Structure 1
Amino acid sequence: MSKLKGSRLEAEIDRVRADANWKRLGELLPSVKSKNSGLEDCYEMFQAEIVLETYLDQLGEIIRPSRDHVDKLSSAEQLLQTSLKEKSTNQNVKIEANILLAKVLYACVEFRKALQCISNSEMENGKTPFRTLRALRLVAEGYAIKGLCIESMEDPLPTSANRPHSNSTTSTTSTASSKDQKALYVFEKSAELAIFILMSSKNR
């Protein structure tokens, strides 16, 4: 098979990522890395995506945060850190690599760091059009990860040990309610995008 280039390569990459065909994406990496492919900035990100998603597929279940994932996902984390450091001017890489990194960090029980990656992606600012189905799916996952992180993080301790018990109870209840509302909001955003993605997939 002749090596794909330019718009043909980009279209094939978009297709296999939307189909979660990580084996085929791996086969396309030499073409991505080649000079003037137009996708050179995405090389490390795609490498990390293959490592992460193949590992999650092997688990065959939803992500369950555990320190056991750290060693298996360390290479993906390093590749994504490199991608964000060296290709930070590429807006697509900035958004997608940060969300992928958030997935890695959530899996490894680094909830605060995962939330920071979601913030760094700027996926919620509404200024960047998501040109591919895979990008939309990642944003939907990003909202879900944000909600899961919010739910998983411990509530902050009261600021004063001498606060009256009744006030402390009220404050704790209010904090929990606010936390639940934030989580619910981002879960709803994730669900809305998931429905849109499903409808778009049927029309492909």
Structure 2
Amino acid sequence: MAGRGRSCRIESEIEKSREESNWKKVVDLAEQLKLRSPDCECLANFLIGEGKLESFLEEFPPIDANISKARTGLTEAKRYLLSTANEQGRKAGVVLDANLLLGKLHYAMGMYEDSLNYYSQAELQTLTEKQLPSRGLRIVAESYAIKGKWKYRHSN
């Protein structure tokens, strides 16, 4: 019981850090969560992947000049996110966000068709209105922006 209280506190700190875009802290806390609560491993892996992706993109924005850096620098983030884009991730409640972030990751890597495939897997076009935390809304908004940018680039 005491262990669960600690993991709830860690989860609360993680959410606060995500909202503040403090990705180093998110990764550190997710590693702690993974150690203290093995049943939260899928959630922790998602958070680590998200943190590594967002940290990388803060330093190297997703522009054409950074594609080669992204292809080598995002392999670890990709591995973590892929490990949660499955049935286990669905049970943990992170599969939608994992697919959306994999779309963003592939966009940064210049793999635009793969990016769109992840948005299709997430069924981005059918998302209905529901209450999402601001971080979730940001992920969805970025996904629509990337999808729109890709379509614009290929319609000209």
Shorter-chain TM-score range: 0.7 to 0.9
Q: Would you say the 8 A contact 2:27–2:48 is kept in 1?
A: yes
* Contact 2:33/2:40 (<8 A) preserved: yes
- Note the C-alpha offset of 1:22: 0.9
Partner of 2:63: 64
Normalising by structure 2, we get a TM-score of: 0.81
Q: 1:117 to 1:91 in 2, by over 3 A?
A: farther
- Hey, what's the Cα distance between the residues in 2 that align with 1:114 and 1:106? 5
CA deviation vs aligned residue, 1:6-38 (integer Å, no higher than 9, x gap)? 2x3332221110110012112212332145477
Aligned to 1:172: none
Q: Given that residues 112 and 149 in structure 1 are in contact (C-alpha distance below 8 angstroms), is that contact kept between their aligned partners in structure 2?
A: no
Identify the residue that residue 24 of structure 2 maps to in structure 1: 23
Larger Rg: 1
* Matched residue SS, 1:90: helix
Q: Name the TM-score, length of structure 1 as normaliser.
A: 0.64
Q: Structure 1 residue 129: deviation in Å? A: 3.2
Q: 2:6 aligns with which of 4, 7, 21?
A: 4
Cα displacement string for residues 125-179 of structure 1 (whole angstroms, at most 9, x for unaligned residues): 23473432111110011111111221234x6xxxxxxxxxxxxxxxxxxxx6xxx
**Cα distance change on mapping 1:35 and 1:86 into 2, 3 Å:** farther
When the two chains are superposed, the root-mean-square deviation of aligned CA atoms in Å is 2.6
- State, as a whole percentage, how many aligned pairs show the same letter: 27
Q: Which runs of 5+ in 2 are unaligned?
A: none
Report what 1:14 is aligned to. Answer: 15
The answer for unaligned runs of 5 or more in structure 1 is 156-175, 177-204
Superposition deviation, residue 100 in structure 1 = 0.9
Matched residue count: 151
Question: C-alpha distance in 1, partners of 2:103/2:145?
Answer: 11
Q: Is the 8 A contact 1:18 1:133 kept in 2?
A: yes
For 1:38 and 1:124, the matched residues in 2 are separated by: 32
Cα drift, residue 85 of structure 1: 3.2
Which residue of the partner structure matches residue 49 of structure 1? Answer: 50
Instruction: Please tell me whether residue 147 in structure 1 is matched to residue 132 in structure 2.
Output: no
